[in-house]
Each structure stands twice: as structure tokens, then as C-alpha cells.
Structure 1
């Protein structure tokens, strides 16, 4: 009878030793603290979040389109947000002039290297924050340099201290 309590204590001790590293890692590991999306003109994820366009999971996480830096993908390489890649989904197009101001909302701020804006493979603008941590709202005025018509703008927020970026696509009609 003396062996059973000893075996239970030994098992409990071994379980505690086995779980300790998991608990330490779980309590000390923090998720990426940067999240944001373009709210105006309304990005695709903003349209999903407000119900303008019916979408999947992105409806609840417009700020979470995160992926490795250097992508040209509205979904940031994330299959969960594939709806954002569908150019035929019925996205509302915003009329703009020869330039537009893009407004980001950041729900969790993070040191920033650059903000970039593209149409196709053409970089329209880049703003260097040099590692600064931005406020809750960030705006950039971007010139379309003679480009007109219906276009898809890819806006990219490059994080300074990780290998990731946040992505947003905005459908615009550039009237010049």
C-alpha cells in the first residue's frame, strides 16, 4: 500500500516537470503585436468587416492580413483570407483624383520600417518610418502619376523588427 501513494506522487512530479517547459513557453511567448488595415478608401477587408461584401473569416479579423514581407497578395499569403484575392467578388470601387489619402487603423501598434503602395508591380510611393512606432491612425497621400481608370492598389505596412508585413487591397477608379 505504501507504493501506490509514492507512484502517484512520482507521476505527479513527472507530469509537473514535463508540463513546466510548456507552461513557461506559453506564458512568455507573445503573439505579434502589430495589426492594421486601410479603412478609407475602404479596403477589401474593411468592406468584409462592415458587411458591404460577403466574406469568410476576414469579416471578424480585418486587421489580421499578415504575411512575409515582399508579397504582392491581397491576402498576405494567408489561405484563410482567400476571399480578398477574388477580383470578381463585387468590391465597391472608390472614385479618386490624381492622388488619394489612404487611412490606416492600427489596433496594435508596432515599430515600422516602411509603408508601400503598389499598382501591379509599379511602386507608387514608399514612406520610411525608420523603426518608429506609429499612433492608432496613419495617413499617406499617394500620387497616381498619370495612371487612370479602375485599379487595385496594394498597401503594405512593413514591420521593423519582424519578417512580416500587413497587406490591404483597395479598389479605386482614378479619374486623374
Structure 2
């Protein structure tokens, strides 16, 4: 009996060290307003998504966008090959969230755990962008239309903030970037919207 208890304690200790040692595992999130591609995969609305259906919160890449960060064409997957399905435009088949040009909008993030945060930034595609090509910096406005400073605070598990949408018509993409304060990483979330 003593050996079994000792083995169980050692096993739990190893599991605890493994969990603690993977700091990024506790700091994940995605947008669900507007619905992000990773959320659409996770809730089963879109199929053939690969691993992202089980890990919608894990689209993490280098921070510093747009000067740094994931490569063009891989922005929606944060450059992670296991989530490459997020970069595929699917001939316009991604479902869209209906939004109103110039209106106030409530953006919402879901987090599996909190992390010290620099800010949240939102970029939008230019009018006339090529919606059949993977998302690039050239397709996006150079400045975010909304920046929400967070001053190294940790967000709750659900966070909403309001901002004004740009004036647009037709189909567009919004790229949400959640910048982490105490790592070299950020989380990326692509949402297809229809004005």
C-alpha cells in the first residue's frame, strides 16, 4: 500500500511540474464576438478544421504586429502549421458576423486562463481587398481601428469592450491581437464580418 501511495505522489508531482513548466498553457484566448474562425471550428459550425477544433484558444505567435509577428498569409494561424486551416479563405465559405458600418460594437474575448496584458488591438481589411487570398498586412489598414490598453492587468475569463467599427461595405476580416505583457507572444483571432 505504501508503494502505491508513494508512486501516486511521485506521479502527481511530475504532472504538477509539467503543468507549471508550460506557462503558455495557462494563458490562452479567442474572440467570440465577432465570431472568430477558431470558435466556428470549435463549436462545429465549420468542419475540416484540423486541430484547432480542440484548441481554439491556442493561436499564439510572436508579438509586435504589424512590424513583427506571424508571416503574411499565416496571420490567422499565428504562423502555426497545425492551425493552417485558419488561413484558407475557403472560397468565401467562412460564416460571417453581421455588423453595421460606423456603429458601436461590443468585442468579446473568452480566456481559458488570464495573463498580464499589454493591450487588445483590432485591424480591418481595406475596402477592395482580395478576399480569396490568405490575409496579409497589405490587405489590412496599417493602423488598428481600436486599441484597448490593459496596463499589465489580467483579464477575467470573459472580457468585453466597446469600440466603433470603421465605415465599410461588403465582406471584410477583423484581426484581433491580444498582446501579452510578460512574454514575447500575442494571440491572434480572425473574424469574417459582413457590413
Smaller-chain TM-score bracket: 0.7 to 0.9
Equivalent residue in structure 2 for 1:65, among 59, 67, 72: 59
- The alignment's TM-score, normalised by the length of structure 2, stands at 0.72
What per-residue deviation string (whole Å, max 9, x for no partner) do you get for residues 3-27 of structure 1? xxxxxxxxxxxxxxxxxxxxxx858
State the SS of the aligned residue for 2:112.
Answer: strand
Aligned length: 152
What per-residue deviation string (whole Å, max 9, x for no partner) do you get for residues 18-65 of structure 1? xxxxxxx85862331210001122110000001111110000000000
State the SS of the aligned residue for 2:183.
Answer: coil
State the SS of the aligned residue for 2:83.
Answer: helix
Task: Give the C-alpha shift of residue 159 in structure 1.
Answer: 0.3
- Compare the two structures and name the one with the higher strand fraction: 1
In the alignment, structure 1 segments of 5+ residues that lack a partner are: 1-24
Closer/same/farther in 2, CA of residues 101 and 28 from structure 1, 3 Å limit = closer
Closer/same/farther in 2, CA of residues 127 and 29 from structure 1, 3 Å limit = same
1:113 maps to 2:133: no
Other-structure match for 1:156 = 177
**2: distance between equivalents of 1:52 and 1:104?**
18
What per-residue deviation string (whole Å, max 9, x for no partner) do you get for residues 87-141 of structure 1? 1262101111133221110111100001000011341111110100111111122
- The alignment's TM-score, normalised by the length of structure 1, stands at 0.79
Other-structure match for 1:6 = none
Which is further off, 157-166 or 70-79? Answer: 70-79
In the alignment, structure 2 segments of 5+ residues that lack a partner are: 1-16, 125-139
Equivalent residue in structure 2 for 1:44, among 37, 43, 54: 37
What RMSD over aligned residues (CA atoms) do the two structures have, in Å? 2.0
**1: distance between equivalents of 2:141 and 2:110?**
25
Greater CA radius of gyration, 1 or 2? 1
